Structure 1
Amino acid sequence: MDYVSALVPPVVMAVFFVGVIRVIVKTQGGANKAKEDAAVDAVLARADGARRAPAGPDA
């Protein structure tokens, strides 16, 4: 029975890992892809604008 207790944790972790990968693959694309891409583009544009803006009156 030692082999069962030795195999249970890797099997459980493998099943969990496969489930996580399936969720990631299923949530890619779809109806919300354009909305998610627009949100990421807005954040990147805001970060780029903040980096290029002058620091203040002493700049």
Structure 2
Amino acid sequence: MAGNFYKLKCQDCENEQVVFGKAATVVNCAVCGTVLARPAGSNAAFEGEVVETVEAR
């Protein structure tokens, strides 16, 4: 059961960060600390803008 990696853009500082699509914990921006993704069942709920799919499996 593989997942995808996504590049998200932070809404506050526009930093781009790679996040696993099935994140089990809250993922914060490495620069400003804004929440980018929250766990939501089997997949993560993204709060940042999805720029691209980095690696699809």
Which of the pair is proportionally richer in helix?
1
TM-score normalised by structure 1 residue count? 0.15
